[in-house]
Structure 1
Amino acid sequence: MAICTSLTEADVAELEELVRDTADPLRAFNAFYILLARHRRALDGGRFRTLYLRHAGRFSAIPMRAVLESDLALLDPMGPNLPAALRHAVTAVTAYPDNLALVAHHARVLAEYGWSGGETSEDELREALTQVERAVEISPEQARYRAVRAQLAALLDDFDTALASVQRALDLEDSARSGYAVRIVEYHRIRADIVLRRETEQNRRTLRETAERLERSMEERVRRVAEETRAHEQKELTRLRSETLASLGLLAAVIAFIATGTQIAQDLPVREALRLLAGLAGMLTLVFTAFGAIFGVGRPARLVLPGLFGAVLFLFAWATA
């Protein structure tokens, strides 16, 4: 499309006459296309839109019009309308699958759509990358094809290929060609995007691995705490069971002891019976105090007074015997 950038004013006037000529619609469309491509390369969205809207209705039957619709969407004054541009690019490349320029255009719009956050499937990206690589093989001197390949490769996380491709695009650009500065700036922007995406993916991968390690660590810690809790609960249940059995055994012995002592006291004189019961009460108090001390029932300080009281009763009964 070097012709688009080398047109003189006379050439432009002649092309405009051809566009208005209704005798040969295809020739008129070709002239229309060249004029629009000129405005497109100059990034002159205003003239592109004005010229397109003035004549586009006459060429609705020509499939190639879809690529112009795609360009129009990219030059939207409110910012590139990438979904519309991609839709028209698909229509154009479907109609002309062997047109390398359209293949590259579709791949570029798809890549820009993906970079903007649009949903693109891996199959779509790989198919577009395959088509662009074919275009690179056929026209290896086209820097634009390599830049598009860089964008697609980066979307597929092949950052080494992407950076190598965009660097090759920079190397292939001819500084003598019109629009060189614009293209170089765009390629540097693509490279910066690739580097940023690579760093972002690396950080995301690191965060994901860290999160997985923390999750495994927390799961292990929770499992260990759960096992320790179960072991502690089992130990406590065993201890409580033992204490309960011991308490029941002690109560049974105490009840038998009281019953026996009471029966004996019935056959004794009152004073001796009272001494026997006092000694029995002291003995029981000492037994329960010792039981509480052994099994940790209450604080030790609270067991001192009952122990003294039991000892006094027992010694009183013993001393007066």
Structure 2
Amino acid sequence: MPPPSDAAFPQAIRTVIEAYPDPEPLLRAALDDRTIRARSRFAALYALLLRLRREERHAEYGSVVRDHEDEFGAEPYFHTFRAIVARAKGDLASLRSSVEYSRQAVASMPDVAAVVHQLAAFWVEYLERLEDPGPARDLDEVERHVDRAITLTQGRIAHYYETKGRVLALRGEFEAARTAVAQAIELEPRTSRDHLRRLTQYQSSRIRIDLMQERARWAQAHARFRTELTEFKGQQLQLLGLLAAVVAFIATASNIASQSSGVEGLRLMLVASGAISVVFGTFSLVNNSRVRRVIAAVVIGCAMIGAGMFVPASWMS
């Protein structure tokens, strides 16, 4: 059995557990036997906790961790135990604490693939629980840790690819995410005791990816609908503005026709028409119309105002 400081320690523990149909009584006996050296007892503690975690006996897991924290709390692996206890509480704050504990473990054991992967797995779970997508830099760091864990194990650990797929799904790369999960299913050892549990986990990830893709499609459709609705409202306001301008023009023309005649009436009509054009163009700008249309309306309006004010009377007669 390699020492806990060896990067092969976690996998060696898993191999030992696989060799026994029911290793729990032996592990508890070794852990309680004070005549056994501390390193061997810690290995028994690690194996027992691994067994409890596989069976999702979270309350017992937390109890065992608390019972042996005074003795083994200085071990770097104990940060991973604390992280698992925090994650089991289920709330978002505890999940964030599990990420921080895992960070401390990685800082102490940067070359242990299982420790690096635990940080990535807990972090991606935390990001999945957030209402809004996490910062891109967080996803970059999570993916870097996953890739690091895969590299350290030469790509032989199946569930690391499932974590990779979850990261890709958060990025919106759904096809790549499905490919990663499919690779995890293909690599999962058929003889492992965790085989069925892992397959269930992978299928759950597949369903989650499908749901995330549908949610992304719905969000895009919703955003497109909101944009179209905003544009429609703007168009309606423009039509109302145009109607108001037409009514104002008719009223102004009637008033001028009743009170003025000849060149003066024509000047007033030009100035009034230009003013209405400028006002309508400015109104359209407020409602996010195209700038070119607004500029054209304002230029034409200003030209009409200028013509009404400065064009010689001889040109109008």
What's the TM-score, normalizing by structure 1? Answer: 0.68
Q: Deviations over 1:9-61 (max 9, x none)?
A: 67853664356548854444333222211211222223322322211222222
8 Å CA contact retained: 1:74, 1:80 = no
Q: Which residue is 2:69 aligned to?
A: 56
Cα deviation for residue 118 of structure 1 reads 6.2
What's the TM-score, normalizing by structure 2? Answer: 0.69
8 Å CA contact retained: 2:117, 2:149 = yes
Q: Deviations over 1:119-169 (max 9, x none)?
A: 632211111112212322443121110000011111111111111111111
Matched, 1:94 2:107: yes
Cα distance in 2 for partners of 1:48, 1:85 equals 15
8 Å CA contact retained: 2:158, 2:183 = yes
Identity across the alignment (%) = 19
Relative distance call for 1:14 and 1:152 in structure 2 (3 A) is closer
8 Å CA contact retained: 2:99, 2:119 = yes
Q: Which residue is 2:173 aligned to?
A: 158
Q: 2:84 aligns with which of 62, 71, 90?
A: 71
Cα deviation for residue 182 of structure 1 reads 1.2
Cα deviation for residue 67 of structure 1 reads 0.3
* More divergent stretch after superposition (15-24 vs 54-63): 15-24
Matched, 1:219 2:234: yes
Cα distance in 2 for partners of 1:77, 1:201 equals 25
Q: Which residue is 2:197 aligned to?
A: 182
Q: Which residue is 1:203 aligned to?
A: 218
8 Å CA contact retained: 1:19, 1:29 = no
Cα distance in 1 for partners of 2:70, 2:131 equals 30
Counting only pairs closer than 5 Å after superposition, residues 1-321 of structure 1 correspond to structure 2 as: 1-7=14-20, 12-13=25-26, 16-18=29-31, 21=34, 25-76=38-89, 81-117=94-130, 120-139=134-153, 140-245=155-260
Q: Deviations over 1:90-119 (max 9, x none)?
A: 221222222211111111111111222266
Cα distance in 1 for partners of 2:101, 2:131 equals 16
Cα distance in 1 for partners of 2:117, 2:32 equals 26
- Higher CA-based Rg: 1
8 Å CA contact retained: 1:89, 1:105 = yes
8 Å CA contact retained: 1:170, 1:187 = yes
Cα distance in 1 for partners of 2:15, 2:237 equals 69
8 Å CA contact retained: 1:146, 1:169 = yes
8 Å CA contact retained: 1:97, 1:103 = yes
8 Å CA contact retained: 2:111, 2:152 = no
Q: Where does structure 1 lack aligned partners over 5 or more consecutive residues?
A: 247-321
Relative distance call for 1:26 and 1:240 in structure 2 (3 A) is farther
